[in-house]
A and B are shown apart, each in its own frame.
Chain A
């Protein structure tokens, strides 16, 4: 099954076990690192998307055209029930909820801030976002609540309010009239996303619609899909269905990428940064492999001289050398993929906590524990590139054999 050349190559590898093992280890280490790092990156993106989607935007939203850009309270979904039914009709949508938003001044006894006030349907909202679980103090809203509010932790701190304290809300209603009310703090939430915790306040939807004169309308209907990769399919179905609701295509469906363009940009930037790092890693490793092979050949000039003198062709010697390097690389890659996958699987189960990184992660909306995500892609891309590069690196020394002349080669030490 194995040719003589392969056997020779195999034996050559183990003639100097220490050097070969070191080379294999270098390849293995690079492979392992790449598997782990890529899984880590993909895992953190998954976490990032998941937590951002779950905290606020949802996988999909139905809005009035231009609402995403203008965020004006006048751009509404007039019949939220019809849109909710349409969304829920899709088998992959697990929950849908309407929300109404307004920018308003909120004021405590001595502080005033401009924030985004959102009206939520307490029961439906609990199924589309993590808001209910984010309540740190007090309680979540219930269906019959009237003049009660949930405020972000940082907003509560800025306003210097606590549970049951009064907050004045002053904004503009859907009809342009002045909307004003006094609410009491029922719960304080902390999402870990500073922007949300500083600038968000939630009221019961029915009460919001009353105060802001919404006439039953909402600004967005949020939907959650059972899996991220179902989103584009649902989007197409819903977009078709929306043509029958409302007039003049006034409603549009947006996916999480359109709702959070910043998130995708952040991920792309991080990916580019990652690739530059991997490229450097691979180049450094390629040079070390090149060095080992080159040394091996310079050292073994005499041996090649003898082989050539007894009639072995240059081609065959080159082939043996390439088998040698390929063998070492493959061993290294194999070891690297196995080790990398094991390490990744371990952390996939246990998560990684980097002490002191909580604040940085929080800015990106990440929980303080990151779970790498091993996939076929993350386990194969890095090692495949390493394999290609090392084979290329091994080619140069192997081709050097072509220039050897038997007599001269034998004379060298």
Chain B
């Protein structure tokens, strides 16, 4: 009886293991999940400058932001002085906005959540970086590119039928060190609507992170929003009191 030599069996298993692990590493869903978690962190405190560019005008707003997971976030305007103190609080599916001039907290109807945020090209949902991109889509790696000597996975995400999403397709570019380089949003006819790109990858809050985010409307060269992180800290956790209605009126206490 001819038995295969022991060495051959070992090599065979070795190949199996390699195949299994590479197969695992190339799972598109895992890549996205890791990237979203990397981007989001457990909790964060950030100061950012948002520049809204339009053909006829432009506007720069400085914001301070507190986030915890995907559920909780609080944004407040630091400058311009005229708008200082205006803020939005998001807790789960609920969202409120506060205006110091009229001294009222207003609950935002869910239908307004996909609307432009502070008149920018970002929507409330874009900022929340919710799990929707992971849960509501099926993902396939369509190709790989290289960026600064690292592999970049280009992932095409198609919504699961009946998923409550507004996009017909999204294309994400994620580098092997989990950094999201670009996210493209397409409508139902697979036509590009807007695209977000991250640039100036630097050490921020203890990890490499794109400092500048640009949300650009398709076909409109002069309409975009730049989000520039002035300061970013990642935390293990933030206490509940940062995400309450009274924190919205008087943030950061």
Q: Which residues of A are in contact with B by a Cβ distance under 8 Å?
A: 74-75, 105, 107, 112-114, 168, 170, 172, 175-178, 180-182
Contacts and interface: CB of A to CB of B under 8 A. Distances in A.
Given A74-B54, A74-B56, A114-B112, A178 B83 contact: yes
A175 B56 contact: no
A107 to B, nearest CB: 4
Contact of A107 (B52, B54, B106, B111): B106
B102 A168 contact: yes
Given A107-B106, A112-B107, A170-B99, A177 B112 contact: no
Q: Top 10 closest A-B pairs, CB basis?
A: A176-B59, A180-B99, A107-B106, A178-B83, A172-B119, A180-B102, A180-B101, A168-B104, A182-B102, A178-B86
Contacts of B104: 107, 168, 182
Nearest to B60: A176
Contacts of A180: 86, 99, 101-102
Contacts of A75: 56
B119 A176 contact: yes
Interface string B106-136: 1111011001001100000000000000000
Contacts of B54: 74
A74 B223 CA distance: 13
Contacts of B106: 105, 107, 112, 168, 170
19 contacts: A74-B57, A105-B97, A105-B108, A112-B106, A112-B108, A113-B109, A168-B102, A168-B106, A170-B97, A170-B99, A170-B102, A172-B118, A177-B59, A177-B82, A177-B83, A178-B77, A178-B86, A180-B101, A180-B102
Contacts of A181: 101-102
A71 B101 CA distance: 26
A205 to B, nearest CB: 21
A245 B91 CA distance: 50
Given A170-B97, A175-B59, A178-B86, A114 B102 contact: no
Most chain A CB neighbours (cut-off 10 Å) among B101, B111, B115, B118: B101
Contacts of B205: none
B80 interface: yes
Interface size band for B: 20 to 34
Contacts of A107: 104, 106-107
A196 to B, nearest CB: 19
A114 B59 contact: no
Interface string B43-80: 00000000010101101000000000000000001001
A113 B118 CA distance: 17
A211 to B, nearest CB: 10
Given A175-B59, A176-B59, A180-B102, A114 B111 contact: yes
B101 A105 contact: no
A172 B77 CA distance: 14
Nearest to A106: B106
B224 to A, nearest CB: 14
Given A74-B56, A175-B59, A178-B83, 18 more contacts: A105-B106, A107-B106, A107-B107, A113-B109, A114-B109, A114-B111, A114-B115, A170-B106, A172-B118, A172-B119, A176-B59, A177-B82, A178-B77, A178-B86, A180-B86, A180-B101, A181-B102, A182-B102
A74 B77 CA distance: 22
Contacts of A114: 109, 111-112, 115
A232 to B, nearest CB: 31
Nearest to B107: A112
B111 A176 contact: no
B79 to A, nearest CB: 11
Most chain B CB neighbours (cut-off 10 Å) among A74, A168, A170: A170
B8 to A, nearest CB: 70
B52 A176 contact: yes
Most chain B CB neighbours (cut-off 10 Å) among A168, A178, A181, A182: A178
B151 to A, nearest CB: 40
Nearest to B56: A74
A105 B118 CA distance: 12
Contacts of A74: 54, 56-57
A356 to B, nearest CB: 33
A107 B56 CA distance: 30
A112 B94 CA distance: 13
Nearest to B59: A176
Contacts of B111: 114
Nearest to A72: B54
Contacts of B80: 177
A176 B107 contact: no
A243 B75 CA distance: 45
Interface in B140-176: none
B118 to A, nearest CB: 8
Contacts of B118: 172, 178
Contacts of A168: 99, 102, 104, 106
B217 to A, nearest CB: 12
A168 B102 CA distance: 8
A75 B56 CA distance: 9
A172 B54 CA distance: 15
A128 to B, nearest CB: 27
A368 B93 CA distance: 43
A178 B106 CA distance: 14
A182 B103 CA distance: 10
Contacts of B83: 177-178
A112 B95 CA distance: 12
A11 B10 CA distance: 117
A113 B57 CA distance: 28
Contacts of B82: 177-178
Contacts of B97: 105, 170
Contacts of A177: 59, 80, 82-83
Contacts of A176: 52, 57, 59, 119
